[in-house]
Structure 1
Amino acid sequence: MSRWIDLTQPITEDVATHPPGHTLPEFEPLATYDEDGHNATRLHLETHCGTHMDAPTHFFPADEYDTIDAVSPAEMITEGVVLDCTDVGRAEAISPERVRAAVAAASVSVEPGDFVIVDTGMDPTTTDPDTYLHEYAYPSVAAAEFLVDAGAGVVATDALGVDAPGASVADHDVHRALLGNGVRIVEGVADLGSVEPGRYDVVCTPLPYAGLDGSQVRLLVRPQ
């Protein structure tokens, strides 16, 4: 049987996040083994750092759209495809034609409910932080609409985001195109250099933060 591959960033106090305005994690000791006989830690952690999933309420009102605790077990244990878009230039949009070419090159199709992982070659654990923040490739709105029409359940990327680097909140049109159609987003996927394009079993487990807009995930894939 094929082995499971972990595509998750370790959560550290300098994990990839979205400055300005987004804070880095902080780990505050509440008890230590040396002083208290046990270890316990308070986490100061925002929902959108590291390898994480955006719920629709990241960009839409919570009284109209799903929060992160609405993700069902069937959606967390699923299947999907890895697509190679590493030839797209830095800070350039990935066109629907490029997505179609990546689908064809992987000898797969995007099926309803698929977890679609787009490899842009921008690994968050090895890329220079300034490059990772400012130069990642991202899907165009048309590419996002193509994946919505194909029935994708999740669109994931190794990049920091799915909108253009430095885009204002008002210009996050790719987020809105996906989340507004019920397609969740996973950003900050790690170690895609260890997997080939193709079809995979997928496990992606956000924490059920009640009423919140996102969560860190543990993302595992296994070749079919």
Structure 2
Amino acid sequence: MSKESINKNFKYIRLSYTLRENSLVHIGLNPLKIRPINRISQGDNYNTSLITAENHCGTHIDAPAHFILGGRFISDYSPEELSFTHPMVLDCPKKPGELVDVEDVSKIRDDKLDCLLLCTGFHQYHDTDPKLYLEQNPGISPGAVYYLRDKFPKLRCVGIDSVSMSRYGHAEESVEVHQAAFRENEDFGKPLLFVEDLDLSDIDKNTQIQEVIVVPWQVGDLDGAPCTVLAKIGLR
């Protein structure tokens, strides 16, 4: 089989947003800044820019160190640990402020599941209603996280198409949700990774995702980082 024919069987799409100065960030975080340093148009020999960004801006990945003292940093993860060959998109439409709960995730039957993408439909508000997107985002319940870790021991990553896995304005719930995912527990296997602020606008019920690859910024000793998320899509 030729390389050309192989390549026609699939394509890659991005499930992450492009970072820009007007990129949405979780309320309370500093906005992204991109400042020109050198410009060819101003007589310099090359272009350079200074990027000032919080490590949880835009589409980003949370490692256990985000909420767990002594937890792993995102730079501790190998490429293999950030590649997922049994992903699934769970269609779970949510209204503003609602939670993905145990009833939603109990529909999953794939015991090989290693990456779960929660499609709440809230990505539709990312550009059309930023205020709603940031202030009334859906999240996932702590109980649903515990259920996933208990029932799917091969699961390593959960992503969502809202600004955070936890609802804005629910501080205690936020801590519980993240600790439920990141806490070491011999009954639940290894801690999960969270990917937040996914762009699932190109995904529908007919999309066949064969693989998900998460590529974080490679900065040492960070509890999380902006990332590019790629999905390998089957065409046949």
Deviations 1:115-140 (A, max 9, x none): 11100111164341111012222111
Structure 1 residue 129 and structure 2 residue 137: aligned? no
Q: TM-score, normalised by structure 2?
A: 0.84
Deviations 1:180-222 (A, max 9, x none): 2410100000134434366531111112211111111111112
Partner of 1:81: 88
Partner of 2:223: 213
Partner of 1:51: 59
Please show how residues 40-119 of structure 1 align to structure 2 within 5 Å.
40-61=48-69, 64-79=70-85, 80-86=87-93, 88-101=94-107, 103=108, 109-111=110-112, 114-119=114-119
Q: TM-score, normalised by structure 1?
A: 0.88
The whole-number CA distance in structure 2 between the counterparts of 1:203 and 1:157 is 15
Contact kept, 8 Å, 2:126 with 2:133, in 1: the verdict is no
Query: Which letter does structure 1 place at the counterpart of 2:121?
Result: G
**1:30 pairs with one of 34, 37, 40:** 37
Q: Per-residue deviation at 1:90?
A: 2.0
**Pair 1:169–1:18, CA change in 2 (3 A):** farther
Contact kept, 8 Å, 1:121 with 1:193, in 2: the verdict is no
Contact kept, 8 Å, 2:140 with 2:165, in 1: the verdict is yes
Deviations 1:101-158 (A, max 9, x none): 3x3xxxx51526x111100111164341111012222111111111212122011001
Contact kept, 8 Å, 2:209 with 2:231, in 1: the verdict is no
Query: Which letter does structure 2 place at the counterpart of 1:167?
Result: H
Q: Secondary structure at the match of 2:51?
A: strand
Bigger radius of gyration: 2
Contact kept, 8 Å, 1:53 with 1:206, in 2: the verdict is yes
Partner of 1:14: 22
Query: Which letter does structure 1 place at the counterpart of 2:233?
Result: P
The whole-number CA distance in structure 2 between the counterparts of 1:170 and 1:89 is 18
Query: Which letter does structure 2 place at the counterpart of 1:222?
Result: K
Q: Secondary structure at the match of 1:219?
A: strand
The alignment covers a number of residue pairs equal to 214
Deviations 1:34-65 (A, max 9, x none): 2212100111011101110011111122xx21
Structure 2 alignment gaps of length 5 or more: 1-8, 185-190
Q: Percent identity?
A: 26
**Pair 1:170–1:159, CA change in 2 (3 A):** closer
Q: Per-residue deviation at 1:169?
A: 6.1
Partner of 2:194: 185
The whole-number CA distance in structure 1 between the counterparts of 2:88 and 2:210 is 6
Q: Secondary structure at the match of 1:144?
A: helix
